[in-house]
Amino acid sequence: MPEISLRSGSHCVIGQFRAMASPCEILLEQHDMALCRQLTELAATEAERIEQKYSRYRSDSVLSQLNSQAGSWQTLDVETMQLLAFADSCYQLSAGLFDISSGILRRAWQFDGSANIASQQQLDTLLPLIGWQKVKREANRLWLPAGMELDLGGIAKEYAVDKVLQLLSLQFTDAAIPSVVVNFGGDMRCSRPRDDGSLWRIGIENPALADQAISAVGLSNGALATSGDSRRFLLKDGVRYSHIINPTTGWPVTDAPRSVTVAAPNCLLAGMLATTALLQGRDAEAFLQAQQLQYWLVP
């Protein structure tokens, strides 16, 4: 279990730990340190479980095993199959823009703020290895074409937020669930409104434009997720290339907002909509408007 620390906030108590390359927090409205410690321990254990299972940086993760056995049929556990089924829905609903097999393009693009634009030649060698539609799925088996790789980086953290909140809620009878926020690096979900009627005010990591951007949002219920990171981009000939890559062309999306935050009933939904919005480039805002959910956008 990751190391946890506890502190008292002005209107809550907070348990903190690090997982999934992010600072993670459990915020509890009641000033009950012992309860907060128990909940944070549960949360840290669950977050670590999901990270170990789906991290592409760990060679023993289910995901790494899956990628290493590309080219053959593999039997997978129920949770993984369900995650992949969700990824499939995202792929279908985004008309192919959200593709968990596109992570391989990282070999051509390093978003370090430099002017190192990938060559079309590089991309042409990688594009045949991308395309979720090439992956075959059966009830509990999957076949990934040789050379292809899956990356759940765009789903795992949001999934972890929802799973952790579910786990914490299960510790109480329905009526007794306290107002709790699970916040993993700005992707967050709240169990229910606070008893004192006030809003949870939680800072979101501010994408560069410190003054204009959202520094804190109010949350009473449901989830918030943010996509975009203005530190990761390339700049050449005055064109800003975001780190969001269109998997069908291999080229970064241009004219996308720097960051999009979406409010939705659960974190997975909020996260998928935020990412899919960025993939729309200049149409991001029109896309968000069509979803009829609340959103914040940093242009």
Cβ 282 to other proteins shortest distance, Å:
11
- As a whole number of angstroms, the distance between CA 80 and CA 94 comes to 21
Among 272, 274, 278, 298, binds other proteins (CB under 8 A): 272
Cβ 231 to other proteins shortest distance, Å:
27
Nearer to other proteins, 89 or 116 (CB): 89
Tell me, residue by residue from 181 to 210, as one string, x for binding to other proteins by CB under 8 A and - for no binding: ------------xx--xxx-----------
Contact between 221 and other proteins by CB under 8 A: the answer reads yes
Nearer to other proteins, 16 or 101 (CB): 101
Contact between 245 and other proteins by CB under 8 A: the answer reads no
Angle made by CA atoms 168, 54, 179, in degrees to the nearest 5: 20
Cβ 178 to other proteins shortest distance, Å:
15
Contact between 85 and other proteins by CB under 8 A: the answer reads yes
Q: In three state form, how does the secondary structure of the chain look?
A: CCCCEEEECCCCEEEEEEECCEEEEEEECCCCHHHHHHHHHHHHHHHHHHHHHHCCCCCCCHHHHHHHCCCCEEECCHHHHHHHHHHHHHHHHCCCCCCCCHHHHHHCCCCCCCCCCCCHHHHHHHHHHCCHHHCEECCCEEECCCCCCCCCCCCHHHHHHHHHHHHHHCCCCHHHCCCEEEEECCEEEECCCCCCCCCEEEECCCCCCCCCCCCEEEECCEEEEEECCCCCEEEECCEEEECCECCCCCCECCCCCCEEEEEECCHHHHHHHHHHHHHCHHHHHHHHHHHCCCEEEEC
Contact between 97 and other proteins by CB under 8 A: the answer reads yes
Among 8, 65, 77, 93, binds other proteins (CB under 8 A): 93
Q: Which residue bears the tokens 């993984």? A: 80
Cβ 179 to other proteins shortest distance, Å:
10
Nearer to other proteins, 2 or 96 (CB): 96
Contact between 291 and other proteins by CB under 8 A: the answer reads yes
Cβ 197 to other proteins shortest distance, Å:
6
Nearer to other proteins, 234 or 272 (CB): 272
Nearer to other proteins, 18 or 49 (CB): 49
Instruction: Tell me if 14 sits within 8 A of 36, measured CB to CB.
Output: yes
Contact between 173 and other proteins by CB under 8 A: the answer reads yes
Contact between 220 and other proteins by CB under 8 A: the answer reads yes
Nearer to other proteins, 16 or 227 (CB): 227
Among 186, 207, 222, 228, binds other proteins (CB under 8 A): 222
- As a whole number of angstroms, the distance between CA 88 and CA 133 comes to 9
Instruction: Tell me if 244 sits within 8 A of 256, measured CB to CB.
Output: yes
What is the binding site for other proteins (CB under 8 A)? Answer: 82-83, 85-86, 89-90, 93-95, 97, 159, 162-163, 166, 173-175, 193-194, 197-199, 217-222, 263-266, 268-269, 272-273, 276, 280, 283, 286-287, 290-294
